[in-house]
Amino acid sequence: MDGATTMTSPAVLILLGPPGAGKGTQARMLEDKFGLVQLSTGDLLRAAVAAGTEAGKRAKAVMEAGDLVSDDIVIAILRDRLTEADCAKGVILDGFPRTTVQAEALDTLLEESGQKINAAISLDVEDAAMVTRISGRFTCGNCGEGYHDTFKAPAKDGVCDKCGGTEMKRRADDNAETVASRLEAYHAQTAPLIAYYDGKGVLQRVDAMGDIDAIASALGEIVAKAQ
Ligand code: AMP
């Protein structure tokens, strides 16, 4: 083929925001709506810890303390995942990048594959609400659907609305002390990326203090335009 059809490169969307802002929930909704693939470095790291890989062993204690795992580990994990075939559908990066070094590494990776960032969307929330949000959340151990004791309880207690699974999981790092460190890491190391992406002309901001469906619809509009 010599360019008779113009290939549009797969969309690359970034969700920025502190822990508890709803990145995972919203990424899953965008995945369903737009057929994109959610790439959560938190999920990839938790899988590495569970599998006992070398990277997982190095990351475990850091994650339990609510600090950021080193850039080299996270970048390597993300780089590997991006080469998998399903990423050709387009990706939503959830929890990556979290430092300027990671953002620059992502720029290089995308440049190498001829891709660009369609939008970096900041989910804007107030810190005070985050502890409540995080301490009440849990997920279905079977399909990964996210729930919350107050804001999104399953219709039937203990049963996943989506797949009927009955094994609900709470994250080890979703406790008050760790949340404080995670928020601190966000402000010190990740929040500067808002200006980074603004400077590149791809930043969008969404007020993420409202209800899940209203935020999803604001995000949906941005993604529909950005693709
Ligand atoms: P998350 O599931 O996104 O809340 O991430 C859980 C934990 O994994 C974080 O508190 C960090 O310890 C680690 N983590 C996830 N993504 C990154 C990243 N991009 N850079 C450094 N650490 C990360």
pLDDT tens-digit readout, 111-156: 999 999 999 999 999 988 888 889 899 999 999 999 999 989 999 9
Q: Calculate the average pLDDT of the chain.
A: 93
Q: How far is residue 39 CA from its own chain's centroid? A: 6
User: Which has more confidence, 5 or 136?
Assistant: 136
Q: What backbone phi and psi angles, to 5 degrees, belong to 140?
A: -75, 125
User: Is 114 in contact with 9 (CB distance < 8 Å)?
Assistant: yes
- What is the full DSSP assignment across 168-223? EE--TT-SHHHHHHHHHHIIIIITHHHHHHHHTT-EEEEE-SS-HHHHHHHHHHHH
23 lines ligand 1 (CB under 6 A): no
119 lines ligand 1 (CB under 6 A): no
Q: What is the pLDDT of residue 194?
A: 98
Spacing, Cα 59 to ligand 1 middle (Å): 9
Q: Catalytic amino acids?
A: 23, 98, 137, 171, 182
Q: How many CB atoms lie within 10 A of CB 121?
A: 27
* Protein residue closest via CA to atom 14 of ligand 1: 42
The closest-lying atom of ligand 1 relative to the alpha carbon of residue 23 is: 3
